[in-house]
Amino acid sequence: MNPAFLPNVRYVFRNPFYITRRALYKAISIFSKQFSGGQLLDIGCGTKPYQPLFTVQNYVGMDYEKGGTNNNPDADFFYDGKIFPFKNKSFEFALATEVLEHVFEPDSFLSEIHRVLKEDGLLLLTVPFSWDEHEQPYDYGRYTSFGLKYLLEKNGFQVLEQIKTGDFVLTVFQLFATYCYYNLSKNWFIYKLSLIFFFGPFQLLGILLSFLLPKNMNLYLDNVVLAQKK
């Protein structure tokens, strides 16, 4: 598995996004235990970083076909951004991590997930709440926990559980680390030194302060939602 997605503390010195990756991994790990047997569709699969967490019979990765090109060797299928290339009720499970913010028409996207899921099928969805614009110009939205619940229920899903990852302190530390990454990564040598002497200690300090200080969940990093097809 790509070390960038692992929560092991030694990666804090190799990954300037350790705080958010660690929190996402832990939340997905919790919900993945409810996915067993059957077929799972990983939508916007990328390198399939979370596949080892799921004990399903068949793990199918699908990615977006950009400009008519299929340039992801880890994907099993590609789609045009509108219609999934599968029949109705093909999968017991669906996974979409950090994808919804890149979808300009979320109702159509969720409708397609609903279509290819079997009755009572489960959807595990993650989407950022506090993050910089990325993969420009294909970054279209941020969702509060309430807005995401409304959107899912509107499109035929029942929200079973929701988790907010991070907290106010962790979010502030991660966003500042991200700001520093964009500036320090321009120089390879300085960046490599900063991973050890700045990013690692800085993120560990954030984790420690989050543990010691009062919790505030009004500012957070990601929404992680387990939903079921109605």
**Helix orientation angle between 168-184 and 18-32, rounded to the nearest 10 degrees:** 130
CA distances from 18 to 34, 84, 90 (A): 25, 32, 35
Q: What tokens were used for 84?
A: 């999934």
- Average pLDDT of the residues in 103-107: 96
153 is a domain residue? yes
**For residue range 28-77, what is the model confidence (pLDDT) as tens digits?**
999 999 999 999 999 999 999 999 999 999 999 999 987 555 778 999 99
154 is a domain residue? yes
203 is a domain residue? no
Confidence of residue 7 (pLDDT cuts 50, 70, 90): confident
180 is a domain residue? no
**Is 173's pLDDT higher than 90?**
yes
189 is a domain residue? no
Confidence of residue 5 (pLDDT cuts 50, 70, 90): confident
196 is a domain residue? no
Q: Which domain holds residue 161?
A: 3-167+217-229
Q: Give the count of domains, the chain.
A: 1
188 is a domain residue? no
% of residues, the chain, pLDDT over 70: 98
198 is a domain residue? no
**For residue range 26-42, what is the model confidence (pLDDT) as tens digits?**
999 999 999 999 999 99
**161 by DSSP, 3-state: which?**
strand
Q: What is the pTM of this model?
A: 0.93
* CATH number of the domain to which 138 belongs: 3.40.50.150
Structural contact between residues 191 and 199, judged by C-beta atoms closer than 8 angstroms: no
Query: How many residues would you count in the chain?
Result: 230
Q: What tokens were used for 196?
A: 């050890």
Q: What tokens were used for 213?
A: 């200080």
